[in-house]
Amino acid sequence: MTLNVKTITLWMLRILAALIMLQTLYFKFTGHPQSIELFTKLGLEPWGRIGTGIFELIASVLILYPRTTGIGAVLGVGLMAGAIFFHITVLGLDFGGDYVLFLYAVITFICCAILSLVYRKQVFKLVGIKSLR
């Protein structure tokens, strides 16, 4: 049994996107001071922090399940677009003294964007579009 390069690459993108989103859940759900500070600065504490965490958890699970990868990836694109937007407009790229959160958002956005394109038929099927070439 041989795995081809495309399969390995897609799994790497799925795992990377899901891992980045899942590792931030600890901070969001336990009320880590940096997470509270971030969402307070956005005016979204605590519901924005908890709600974002729930959606990131859902996106991660959907991305890892092959039949729903495209749907989770689209959700991930939306979540990370929001994160990138808020880093650029309100938080700053170096929130917390480094660029890690911003870089994680960009990396996850890119992974999810690629997955969204590759698995677009899943999304089209969900919204009732028959076929786009």
Predicted pLDDT at 123? 87
Q: Where are the domains of the chain?
A: 5-127
* Span 21-62, pLDDT tens digits: 999 999 999 999 999 999 999 999 999 999 999 999 999 999
Is residue 70 within 8 Å of 120, Cβ to Cβ?
A: yes
Is residue 20 within 8 Å of 104, Cβ to Cβ?
A: yes
Please state, in angstroms and rounded to a whole number, the distance separating the CA atoms of residues 45 and 64: 29
Whole-structure pTM value: 0.93
Please state, in angstroms and rounded to a whole number, the distance separating the CA atoms of residues 111 and 101: 15
Of 3-7, 45-49, 81-85, least confident by mean pLDDT is: 3-7
For residue 113, the Cα-to-chain-centroid distance in whole angstroms is: 10
Evaluate if residue 116 carries a pLDDT over 80.
yes
At 95, the amino acid letter reads F
Q: What is the largest CA-CA distance in the chain?
A: 52
Predicted pLDDT at 2? 66
Is residue 80 within 8 Å of 113, Cβ to Cβ?
A: no
